[in-house]
Structure 1
Amino acid sequence: MVLLTTKLMQRTSLFVSFGGLVSTFITTFLPLWKTMNSDLNEMENWYEGLWHTCIFTEEVGLHCKAFESLLALPPVTLASRILMCLSIASGLLGVAAAFFGLEGVEIGQGREKVKRMLLIVGGILIWISGVTTLAPVSLIAYVMVVEFWDESLPDVMPRWEYGEAMFSAWFSGFLLVIGGSFIFVAVCMGDHEAKQQSKVFFQTHRQPPRTQNYLKTEIL
């Protein structure tokens, strides 16, 4: 008995992709991409995301403020916003397309070629969603490392460090890439099963070969 079937692989890939999409959506709006603690005032912790800048103090708690001007944003932050929004949009379309391509979904029943094409399109879109999630977080991480070790800045000046949202973005991006890859594996498994079924059908309906003792009969 084969435990890993095409149907199970399709649902596993969709579940992994949906989990990565939800994590990407939450991470996009978290103000925890960057964190900073000043040595001059250890009671204050600064946080920055793609949309807000926050400060945490024991007296007030967490207080956030949105960026005032879109044009005043750093190019890295603006590009990361665009890529994360593109990731959410492509991920939604990819998960929707893959869902309608699943075996057992009544929509498109009997149209195997259409359902196969939906799975392929869904896998490509989910792959794009994963790459556009990994790209901005990796770019921000690279810029932070360069600025952290910038010798032209004074040592007393605090530096931004990695926040929890960056690790969440890496995790969700890898989930999307893995989910899209699983969809392609499911498509290949479906093609293999269809080929095996057609081979069995051909063998069962093929006429047996004639032997030397074959006698032609005529109806008089």
Structure 2
Amino acid sequence: MHKYNHQPQHNDLSKMMVFLTTKMMQRTALFVTFGGFVTSLTTTFLPLWKTMNSDLNEVENWFSGLWLTCLYTEEVGIQCKAYDSILGLPMDLQVSRVLMSVSICTGGLSVLAAFPGLEGVEVCVEQPAMKRGLLILSGVLSWVSGLTTLAPVSIVAYTTVVEFWDEGFPDVMPRWEYGEAMFSGWFGGLALAIGGTLFFVAVCMGDFDQRPPSVQSSPQLKHRTRHYLKTELL
């Protein structure tokens, strides 16, 4: 007769459940969303969406963003100039400007709406439904912000690839390539989408914690969480 003690596994599960509380999940969602918002905001104004250099003149590097175009030379350094006309911009840059502006607004509102909805924040303490609604609103806004960040970055990336492989341009003509801001935009958009998802997970965890005691103490739940010694006869 052999006895198998499952106490170590139970202890590990208990530690994990203590760490993954509703409060911790809410703060994780807020942290991820705020990080994505800051990254998206920085990406919007960086003139590094596209880069270009020529094999004929290697000392010049061109950088292009949504608002500025810059030229870097070793003698002068970096010089930036705003676009002369909005209507004269390519359609992908015009659309990207609008979408990134929407992303900044919705991302900032998501962070602001989430803060009073957190557990432990002395706002709307006697109104749990209000706190729950604020977290749901934050999740929706974070998702919108993430999508409106991923969309313009992907649009500019697509047009850059199409123009790069356009056979109508001479081979000696320099062409635009991906800049660092493209990758930071993808990272920020994904972070915002993940943060919105974590807000929804936090809401579901809060609903689970607030269930009636009769539901929480169901036989099936007790069977999953109780500590026991399993004896198996070989």
Scaled by the length of structure 1, the TM-score of the pair is 0.89
Taking the aligned partners of 1:80 and 1:53, their CA distance within structure 2 comes to 15
- Equivalence for 2:99: 83
Structure 1 residues 9, 72: closer, same or farther in 2, change over 3 A?
same
**Distance in 1 separating the partners of 2:145 and 2:165:** 31
CA pair 107-39 structure 1, distance change in 2 beyond 3 A: same
Q: 2:196 aligns with which of 149, 166, 180?
A: 180
Q: Which residue of 2 aligns with 1:49?
A: 65
Q: CA deviation at 1:199?
A: 4.0
Unaligned residue ranges in structure 1 (runs of 5+): 202-220
Tell which has more relative contact order, 1 or 2 (C-alpha 8 A, sep 6+): 2
**Corresponding position of 1:67:** 83
**Structure 2: which 5+ residue stretches go unaligned?**
1-13, 218-234
| Deviation larger for 81-90 or 99-108 | 99-108
Q: CA deviation digits over 1:52-100, x for unaligned, max 9?
A: 0000000000100000111111111010000000000001111111111
Q: 1:39 maps to which residue?
A: 55
Q: Is 1:189 paired with 2:205?
A: yes
TM-score by length of 2: 0.84
Q: 1:137 aligns with which of 134, 153, 165?
A: 153
Which letter maps to 1:92?
G
Partner residue, 1:17: 33
Name the structure 2 match of 1:146.
162
Give the match's secondary structure for 1:117. Answer: helix
Which of these two proteins has the greater Rg computed from alpha carbons? Answer: 1
CA RMSD of aligned residues (A): 1.2
Structure 1 stretches of at least 4 aligned residues deviating more than 2 Å after TM superposition: 196-201
Matches of 2:212 and 2:181, distance apart in 1 = 46
Structure 1 Cα separation of the partners of residues 59 and 50 of structure 2? 17
Alignment partners' CA distance in 1, 2:156 and 2:25: 34
Deviates more, 1:190-199 or 1:52-61: 190-199
Structure 2 partner of 1:106: 122
